[in-house]
Amino acid sequence: MSIKFCSLSSGSSGNCHYIETDRTRILVDAGFSGKKIERLLSLINVDANTIDYILITHEHIDHVRGAGILSRRYDIPILANKSTWLGMEEVIGDVKDKNIKIIDTNKDLTLNDLGIHPFKIYHDAREPVGYIIYYKNFKISIATDTGWVDNNMKDKIKGSNLYLMESNHDVKMLKEGNYPWFLKQRVLSKEGHLSNVAAGEALSEILLGKGEIVLLGHLSKENNTPNLAYETVKKTIGEVYENIDLNLSYRDRPTKVYTLY
């Protein structure tokens, strides 16, 4: 009885994460072309044909690009809240009625042997969510594309065995970088993206130091480096670092497959 997690890739050019139990295989977001997601899955020996559900966090293209294609090609249901459906309908193209699954933010649902909890995050999309995935005694939390982590979010995701936490940018790199002013303001806002320091601060309040796996995600290509994200979060979370398993996700390749027993 185990649950597996792999971030197939994460960053502003695309996001797609894979979760597997004996009975269920899901993707959280499908932000690359169908072909690319098939290829990423094949790297961990998974056939896209075996995916049972696709869960969507929000309608931005780096999260939905391949959702419609995969749904049509493999007859996969897509789950998203109503606002997100309205936002992505045109982008992802026609999806069979039976594969349009509308879920409610903050309301639990069950997918085979998985419990799912979509929770509100802060981002400039219609109704963006993160997801908590429950299986037996295991808990996995996915929290990317959020400008801040409020107490409600912290309370909800606390106690996870594995976190995928956004660590989007270094504030100094962003401020001094080449982004136009409005884009800098957007990223820095409470409805933008989480900085390395903000990720570390949130994690420092959440982590218990019981060997939790933490993956930093959605790293900016322009305004961050993997090393800077890792070292900043490591420094910010303090001593608890010794008793957790801190890792990075990658913009262009899968992480290892983490198995929780």
| Contact footprint for Zn ion (CB under 5 A) | 60, 62, 145
Report the residue number, 34 or 87, with the smaller CB distance to Zn ion. 87
Q: How far is the CB of 34 from Zn ion (least distance, A)?
A: 18
Q: How far is the CB of 251 from Zn ion (least distance, A)?
A: 11
Report the residue number, 17 or 244, with the smaller CB distance to Zn ion. 17
Report the residue number, 3 or 125, with the smaller CB distance to Zn ion. 125
**What are the start-end ranges of the E strands in 96-249?**
100-103, 109-111, 114-120, 129-135, 138-143, 162-166, 213-217, 245-248
In sequence order, the 6+-apart residues with CB closer than 8 A to the CB of 185 are none
Q: Cα–Cα distance between 68 and 53 in angstroms, integer?
A: 12
The answer to whether residues 134 and 162 touch, using CB atoms and an 8 Å cutoff, is: no
Report the residue number, 108 or 222, with the smaller CB distance to Zn ion. 222
Report the residue number, 145 or 170, with the smaller CB distance to Zn ion. 145
Report the residue number, 27 or 244, with the smaller CB distance to Zn ion. 27
Q: Cα–Cα distance between 191 and 148 in angstroms, integer?
A: 7
Q: How far is the CB of 192 from Zn ion (least distance, A)?
A: 9
Reported as half-sphere exposure (CB side, CA atoms, 13 A), residue 19 has a value of 29
Q: How far is the CB of 31 from Zn ion (least distance, A)?
A: 7
Q: How many degrees, rounded to 5, is the angle at CA 57 between CA 200 and CA 27? A: 100
The single residue listed with the structure tokens 């699954």 is 101
The answer to whether residues 119 and 128 touch, using CB atoms and an 8 Å cutoff, is: no
The residue nearest Zn ion at its CB is 60
Q: How far is the CB of 125 from Zn ion (least distance, A)?
A: 6
Q: Residue ranges of the alpha helices (H) in the chain? A: 34-43, 61-64, 67-74, 82-92, 151-157, 171-176, 181-188, 196-206, 226-237
Q: How far is the CB of 23 from Zn ion (least distance, A)?
A: 29
